[in-house]
Structure 1
Amino acid sequence: MNASLDTFEKYRGIYKAHQYKAQTSLSGEFNLSALNELRKHTIDGIHLVVAIKDNRGLLKFNNLTVNNRPIHITPGTGIKQFEEGFQHTLNVNQLNTLKPLAFDFNFLLQGMGKLQITPIGNTTTVTLHSSWPHPSFIGDSLPISSEISDLGFNATWESNTFSSNINQRFSRCIFENYRCASLFDSQMGVDLIDPVDHYVKSHRSINYSLLIVTLIFACFFFLELFQARPIHPIQYGFVGLALALFYLLLISFSEHIGFNLAYTLSTLASTCLLCLYVGGMLRNQKQGLLFGAALLTLYALLFGLLQAESYALLMGTLLCFIILSGIMLMTKNINWYEKSAELNQDQQPSTLWYENELQEKVKASHEE
């Protein structure tokens, strides 16, 4: 089998699907010597059958021949296990069992996403090529040779009955109560994937959300520590909500304007909000701007991780190591007990004031 896949995209609303039109050439030979053993029986008919998963994908038949003679085909296969496809009825009296029966079928096949072939011949060779640059080879067998570039791919599979045990699997499917799972598992083919689309990138960005939230809260903790200014848990909560809203903005925007632009807008929105909030909370706009610059740098590093395919895990691990190393080196000389005592002292006056005011109110109520 040889197929050339011409890929295109179709849209429904904001969603798209990868489709293809495959100009397919299916050719081979059948050994008819086994018919000699059946001559003593009455043969009702012999059919040459091609099974397709969905007949709606058969767009056009170009040239169909058997022994170099044009043939007429009928829809359906006559096999309950594989109902969709087409067939041709052979004249038993005209078959020459001393020569192989050669066939050559050329047709246009349309599908979505995947193209898979079940190799039921004693020897099978499949060649697929397309301009799609991101193939994912799927099935029980990988191609024996493949070339992938920005211009597309070429791949070739080879299979035989010894390596796939296809005869036993096919017989079990036909004669043993529809046990076809093992036959379908022996398929080979290609999946036309988009390796890093906006949903995949959004999902990967959420996987790093714990790292981002932890680092931001760590920044707040250090601000609280070095400024000796307590930060209320509600303020931590508002910051956490702003960080969570970043991912919601990212997913919703990316469905309409693409991931890169959506990431830029979400980053600017989240950074500006937190920059203004931190500056007002600390009553120091300069520190708010520094916090915003640090947040922009963090989001830029995350964007680089999301663009990577093969090195994402390595880059993420190195980033975590560098950030942790920086925090440890910055805080190696800090006396944590002393800092905690300073924070407690700063909080004591406000606590005593509150207690004194409460006592005065209680005393006034008793006098009344």
Structure 2
Amino acid sequence: MEINQNPTPDQPKFQYPAPPPPPGILQSSTAKIIMVGLLTLVLLIPLEFVKSLIFERAQRQESVVNEINQKWGKSVYFYGPVIKVPYVSYTDNELVDANTKQVTHQHYTTTEYAYFFPNELNITANVPTEQKNRNNYESVVYTADMGFKGNYTAPDFSSRNIPAEQIKWENASIVVKTNNIRSIKGAVNISLGGKQYTFEPAAATNDRDTVAALETNTINLRDAFAGGPVNFDFKIQYKGSEALKIVPIGKNTTAKMASNWASPSFEGNFIPDEKKVTANGFDAQWKISHLNRPFSQQHFGAIPNLADYSFDVKFLIPIDQYQQNERASKYGFLIIGLTFLIFFLIQSVSKISIHIFQYTMIGLALIMFYTLLIAITEHSSFTLAYIVAGVSVVIMIALYSISILKNIKFPVFIATALSALYAFIYVIIQLENYALLVGSIGLFLILGAVMYASRKIDWSNANA
């Protein structure tokens, strides 16, 4: 067959089909990856606004909790009972007249105080808790019933070489130190050597006192210690919140504490020697010797600040709703990035074009998850809020994917993958000690799955 190279006017010329135009640079896979990546970064802006909202609501909760605690009772810091003995101190000043060279002596008499800690101190504390709610916020408060028993040996001034006639044994008293007089319930009495004495609020005896004090009327220690060591016994009841801190001032201190709070935090300078924590509460026991502390059993002039040497129990909600929301929002970048990656891989495999506007709508739906989460959490539990918000967003994105991908297979896969991703994030949020380990392993497996799924994609021709 010969092709007519010189066709007549009545014959049409032979035309070869025109080659398809090369794809524009904006239609290339590289350009789409860059645009999706930039969109992911842009969506971090509304995600930061969500984090700011969570922080604002958390600050509001803290303000309300502080208000509840102020009205009920703040955290309690306590130590005692301590024997307080006044003694006279003499000071001589020598003055020399510059003109006459005459020497005069001035004598000053001041009253100082010596403090003596117990020899044996046994503490029992029963600390039932309850939760107080106001609007959408809650706080943990407690009522502490504490009992103190032990004994004193006779105060010894020999280390200071203070003459016996300077010691005012008949003007001694018993003091306890605390930061929270306002929250004490009822009267506080102490039995010392079989006699009852009542505590009253006392003014600070010097500028170095950092906590308030309760003090008895005067006690004649000369009579009290006439028969040797003296036993004491007193009880005190507190309304408090957040923490209970006790300084072990006995030469040998034992303490037992029981509570219905199932999530205690044992802090301070001493941890329990024995403890049992169950869903119904905890029991803890401390045994502390004076050899375990850097302060002595007697102090002259003033008692130093002992706040760093207490054993503490904190009664706090371990992970409150705003902490959980904050931890969830920190994974927002991961959720958005992996969801976009799934859509991009589907687009590359199926040759279905997904517009950047559609990516934007999907990203905003993912951001809405966190606003729904915090809003619903304030009116229910975090778990229920997480389920409702997660299901709502997954259904929204799945239905939107049907209109984009024009089939049911890929939207079902997207919904399944997104549900698994939300479930994985929820597990990480609930974990405390193993969150980093489980998160790292999970991300490693996700990366491996993406690498496996994308291994056969021809990126040079993935231009749809």
> How many pairs are equivalent?
335
Larger Rg: 2
**Which of 50, 70, 73 is the equivalent residue of 2:176?**
50
Out of 238-247 and 57-66, give the one that drifted further. Answer: 57-66
Bigger drift between 80-89 and 104-113 goes to: 80-89
- Between 235-244 and 304-313, report the one with greater CA deviation: 304-313
Q: In terms of mean alpha carbon deviation, does 260-269 or 55-64 score higher?
A: 55-64
Give yes or no for contact 2:402–2:408 (8 Å, CA) kept in 1.
yes
**Alpha carbons of 1:33 and 1:64: their partners in 2 closer, same or farther (altered >3 Å)?**
closer
Aligned to 2:98: none
* Structure 2 equivalent of residue 260 of structure 1: 383
Q: Which runs of 5+ in 1 are unaligned?
A: 347-368
- Once the two structures are superposed, the pairs formed by residues 1-368 of structure 1 within 5 Å of their partners are 1-34=123-156, 38-43=163-168, 45-61=171-187, 64-76=190-202, 78-80=204-206, 81-89=209-217, 90-96=219-225, 99-167=228-296, 174=302, 180=305, 183-339=306-462, 343=463, 346=464
Shift of residue 111 of structure 1? 0.8
When residues 38 and 234 of structure 1 are mapped into structure 2, their CA distance, relative to the original with a 3 A threshold, is farther
Greater RCO, CA 8 A, separation 6+: 2
Question: Does the Cα contact within 8 Å between 2:132 and 2:138 map onto a contact in 1?
Answer: yes
CA separation of 1:102/1:38 partners in 2, compared to 1, >3 Å: closer, same or farther?
farther
Sort the Cα spacing of 1:263 and 1:334 in 2 relative to 1 into closer, same or farther, 3 A: same
Name the structure where helix makes up a greater proportion of residues.
1
Scaled by the length of structure 2, the TM-score of the pair is 0.66
Structure 2 residue identity aligned to 1:28: G
SS of alignment partner, residue 132 of structure 1: coil
**Cα offset, 1:286, TM superposition:** 4.6
TM-score (norm: length of structure 1): 0.82
**What secondary structure, in the 3-state scheme, does the structure 1 residue paired with 2:460 have?**
helix
CA–CA distance in structure 1, aligned partners of residues 192 and 203 of structure 2:
17
Segments of structure 2 that go 5 or more residues without pairing to the other structure are 1-122
Contact 2:349 2:457 in 1 (8 A): no
**Residue 273 and residue 67 in structure 1: after superposition, are their counterparts in 2 closer, same or farther (change >3 A)?**
same
Question: Aligned-pair RMSD on alpha carbons?
Answer: 2.6
Q: How far 1:252 moved relative to its partner? A: 1.9
Structure 2 distance, partners of 1:38, 1:78, is 26
Which amino acid is 2:417 matched to?
A: A
CA–CA distance in structure 2, aligned partners of residues 55 and 134 of structure 1? 27
- What is the alpha-carbon distance in structure 1 between the residues aligned to residue 415 and residue 252 of structure 2? 64
SS in 2 for 1:154: strand
Larger deviation, residues 279-288 vs 297-306: 279-288
Shift of 1:63: 5.6
Partners of 2:150 and 2:232 within 8 A in 1: yes
Partner Cα distance (1:252, 1:173) in 2:
57
